[in-house]
A = this chain, B = another copy of it.
Amino acid sequence: MTVQISRESLIGKSLTRVDALEKVTGRAVYGDDIKMTGLLYGKILRSPKAHAKIKRIDVSKALALEGVKAVVTGKDAPFRGGEALRDQPFLAIDKVRFVGEPVAAVAAVDERIAEEAIKLIEVEYEDLPAVFDVMDALKPDAPIIHEELHTYEHIPIVQPVPGTNICAKFEFERGDLEKGFAEADVVIEDTFTFAPSHHGQIEPFMAIAQVDYNGRITVWVPNDAPSRLRKDLSDAMKIPQDRIRVISPPYMGGGFGGKGGLKVEMVCIALAMKTECRPVKIRLTREETFEATLTRHGAVCWVKMGAKKDGRIVACHSKLYYNTGAYAEKGPTVTLHGCESGVGPYDIPNIKVEGYCVYTNRPVAGALRGYGLPQSSWAHESLVDMLAHKLGLDPLEIRLKNALVEGSINPIRGDELFSVGLKECLEKAAKAIDWYKKRPPNRGVGIACEYKATKTPSGSTAFVRIEQDGSVEVVTSSVEIGQGVRTILTQIVAEELGASPNMIKVTVPDTDYTPFDASTTASRTTFHMGNAVREAARDAKKQLLELASKLYGISPERLDTWDGKVFPKEGGKEMSFREVITSHYRAGLSILGRGSYYPNIPGTLFSAHSVFYMYAAHAVEIEVDPETGVITILKYAAAHDVGRAINPKACEGQIEGGVLQGIGSTLYEEILFDDKGVMLNPNFRDYKMPTSMDMPKVIPIIVEAPHKEGPFGAKGIGEITLVPVSPAIANALFNAIGVRIKDLPLTAEKVYFAIKKQKGGN
């Protein structure tokens, strides 16, 4: 007799999202939905000045207002934060460096009183000269924004330049640049600018902090890295990590890099330290979220390339200037990652990339999906197109000729690449839009490609419990930001453990209970946490089969599991997980599995080789209205090498969302400021983000170059999805009407005037 086990792999199946119903019915609980007894409401007084000394702060009137429970200033939280460089006070100390910087905060019994109270705080400023432009900030006579740069703690790879506004500087060289350019048949160079933009998460920022009588701190916050937040708070306050508990709300309303690091948490804590155990909540308005959380770095990127007549690129030199605003935040590592793509996903023998992370008096810039690559990629992928044009080559052909392949050496990090699906991405994306087809006037096609590293090394840990009734709990600190992590981890555990997906539940992070995870960023979760939960599932399965082995009287190796049942491989009676467990433990017990993943790669964070690389190529067909300058996207093909798609529909969702987000900063989005550094469009009326109505026809293409260490071959996908969008569209614009625009966004106005200029010859 043989058993009939319908063992179809769950990997590669488009399981419906486990949280779909809860989200579409509006029942999902977000941070602002959390209420608690005795809750106080905090409001932050913000600097109206871009750069000024604080001469005096008088909070006495605010404190005297009825209903006010606490007022804090920089003296109450004399700590600085900063992942790479510890430069940022949570409330301004001595001076302010951007319009919107927190200066003081109030906790009161309701938001209205808190709002009233902050207006009663008197602050006397002494203006200092401000600098906003990244290139101006580099001039020798520029106002210095951080006079004490030399005193800040920083991670080794980040080297600030005291006495300047250079917060961090990076340089990568390979081969012989001069020789490379000398050998080239054609050399071109150009400068491209990337406008500052915003994450535009639907959920504005919020946090609740409570400090118990003995100083233990609990923070409820939609942060993309609960374990890291706990460590950052512990480092900032110099208290042990076990004095802090970070709880994620069940859902997060979008992150895109903007929900990481320390934002209002520390201000909440400073207030909560004065409220005798009453919790304090701060929720930012949309305006505050724009002005005072994070932006994406505006950047100026200069690239020079030299190539042989046949299109072989032999030299590339890039200088990338990232405007990081008033504080470093993740700026240094954003710049570093931007540098990594400073020459593109090409095998170029002679390169030099210089990256500058530059302080200005703009709001703080930090991580935003793509982490520095949208800027550098915008530049080099535009220039590659210009090079192709100059050489009379097809833009697809020049990319295929230079593209990284299996065994190529990473031009920046020097590691030998494997699992490289770049050429397949290029070919499939081009094919999907019928690349070589002849187009009518004002229509054009563009292509761009990129690769992206993940955060390396970084660790993930997880528990998997099989309960006595056979249900399975996956205990992890991975955050459901909307990307579908609960679904992916459910699939991985179901597959590895042989459980049915509907038996599995994935927990919400709570650092008291859920074990360490570096972060839910950098497209790292499927790979890292996927490996961790897989190991934990394997550990649990091993124990389960050992129990079953005693029941069957055969060795565990001769047993296997599927769909919540154990069965002998050679056939025989099935037993449910429940039966196996309760046969041994009638009085009840769970099986506990533990797993962790930490890549075995030498080097420290941001200096190591990447444990995996994602590859992507986007090809787009557009039509330009020469009368208005409006660009209409007719067809958008995005091909992504994800290693292995655990859930193809989830990958497609990532691609579609990323492409639309990329379209936003390509065609519409730009944060605008007045000459005093005041943000002019900090809201969704004036800051133009695409909506679902702007969604073009997107063709998501999944390419699978399996990774030897990824769970079932998977790598990542989330971040790179928006990177090629800007150059792909700009290249199509040039292809359509011969206009090359080098400054994002490609607004209709800009296109209109470029056409006019082209026609007028001026």
Q: Which residues of A contact B (CB under 8 A)?
A: 21-22, 25, 27, 33-38, 212-214, 227-228, 231, 234, 240-242, 277, 455, 457-459, 461, 463, 465, 467-473, 475, 503-505, 507-508, 510, 512-516, 518, 584-590, 592-596, 598, 604-605
Given contacts A21-B214, A22-B213, contact A586 B469 (CB under 8 A): no
Contact (Cβ within 8 A) A214 B589: no
Could you give 16 example pairs across A and B, Cβ below 8 Å?
A22-B213, A27-B213, A35-B35, A35-B37, A35-B38, A241-B471, A459-B588, A459-B589, A463-B463, A463-B594, A508-B512, A586-B605, A587-B604, A589-B596, A590-B596, A592-B595
The docked-state distance in angstroms from the alpha carbon of A227 to that of B465 is: 13
Task: Report how far A419 CA is from B755 CA in the complex, Å.
Answer: 96
CB contact between A587 and one of B21, B36, B457, B588 (< 8 Å): that residue: B457
Which chain B residues lie closer than 8 Å to A277 at the CB level?
27
CA distance A605 to B586 in the complex (A): 8
Q: Report Cα–Cα, A459/B591, bound state, in Å.
A: 11
Task: Return A608 CB to nearest CB of chain B, in Å.
Answer: 9
Instruction: Report yes or no: A473 in contact with B589, Cβ–Cβ below 8 A.
Output: no
* CB < 8 Å neighbour of A469 from B241, B512, B588: B241
Chain B residue contacts of A592, Cβ below 8 A: 461, 463, 515, 594-596
Cα A465 to Cα B34 with chains together (Å): 28
Of the candidates A242, A507, A595, the one having the most CB atoms from chain B within 10 angstroms of its own CB is: A242
| A240–B500 CA distance with the chains assembled, in angstroms | 13
Considering the complex, give the chain B residue whose CB is closest to the CB of A457: B587
B516 pairs with A469, CB closer than 8 A: no
In the complex, which residues of chain B have a beta carbon less than 8 angstroms from the beta carbon of A25?
A: 213
- Given A459-B587, A588-B518, are A513 and B475 also a contact pair (CB < 8 Å)? yes
Known: A231-B468, A241-B467, A513-B513. 13 other contacts (CB 8 A): A22-B213, A27-B212, A34-B37, A228-B588, A242-B467, A242-B469, A242-B505, A458-B588, A463-B594, A515-B590, A515-B592, A516-B588, A594-B594
Residue of B nearest to A513 (CB): B513
Name A599's closest neighbour in chain B (CB-CB): B587
Looking at the assembled complex, report how far the CB atom of A306 sits from the nearest CB atom of chain B, in whole angstroms.
37
Q: Please tell me how many copies of the chain the complex holds.
A: 2
Would A507 and B512 be within 8 Å (CB), given that A213-B21, A592-B463, A604-B587 are in contact? yes
- CA of A469 to CA of B471 in the docked complex: distance in angstroms? 33
Q: Say which residue of B37, B458, B513 sits within 8 Å of A514 (CB atoms).
A: B513
Please tell me if the beta carbons of A37 and B33 are within 8 angstroms of each other in the complex: yes
Task: Give the chain B neighbours of A588 by CB distance below 8 A.
Answer: 227-228, 231, 458-459, 516, 518
Residues of B within 8 Å of A33, CB to CB, are: 37
CA gap between A437 and B687 in the complex, in Å:
94
The one of B37, B228, B242 that contacts A472, using a Cβ cutoff of 8 Å: B242
Q: Contacts A22-B214, A36-B35 given: A457-B515 contact, CB under 8 Å?
A: no
Contact of A586 among B457, B463, B504 (CB under 8 A): B457
Who on chain B is nearest to A471 by CB?
B242
CB-based closest 6 A-B pairs: A35-B37, A513-B513, A459-B589, A242-B471, A516-B590, A592-B594
Among A471, A516, A598, the one with the most B-chain Cβ atoms within 10 Å of its Cβ is A516
Q: How far is the CA of A586 from the CA of B469 in the complex (A)?
A: 39
Which among A228, A465, A470 has the highest number of chain B CB atoms within 10 Å?
A465
Across the interface, do A516 and B27 meet the contact criterion of CB distance under 8 Å? no
The chain B residue sitting closest to A455, CB to CB, is B587
Residues of B within 8 A of A470 (CB): 240
Assembled-state Cα–Cα distance A505/B513 (Å): 11
Contacts A512-B505, A589-B596, A592-B594 given; does A469 touch B213 at CB 8 Å: no
Contacts A587-B604, A604-B587 given: A469-B231 contact, CB under 8 Å? yes
> Could you tell me if B587 and A516 are in contact, using CB atoms closer than 8 angstroms?
no
CB distance from A24 to the nearest CB of B (A): 10
CA distance A516 to B585 in the complex (A): 12
- Kindly name the residue among A228, A516, A589, A594 whose own CB sees the greatest number of chain B CB atoms within 10 A: A589
Interfacial chain B residues near A38, Cβ < 8 Å: 35
Q: Which residue of B lies closest to A605 (CB)?
A: B587
Instruction: Name the B residues within 8 Å of A515 (CB-CB).
Output: 463, 465, 590, 592
In angstroms, Cα B467 to Cα A588, docked, is 29
A599 to chain B, nearest CB (A): 9
Q: Give the docked Cα–Cα distance between A700 and B90 (Å).
A: 54
A697 → chain B, closest Cβ, in Å?
34
Tell me whether A585 and B459 are in contact (CB under 8 A): yes
Smallest CB–CB gap between A611 and chain B, Å?
Answer: 11
Kindly provide the distance from the CB of A187 to the nearest chain B CB, expressed in whole angstroms: 40
Residues of the B chain whose Cβ atoms lie less than 8 Å from the Cβ of A513: 473, 475, 507, 510, 512-514
Provide the bound-state CA to CA distance between A518 and B468, in Å: 11
Compute how far the CA of A277 lies from the CA of B140 in the bound complex, rounded to whole angstroms. Answer: 62
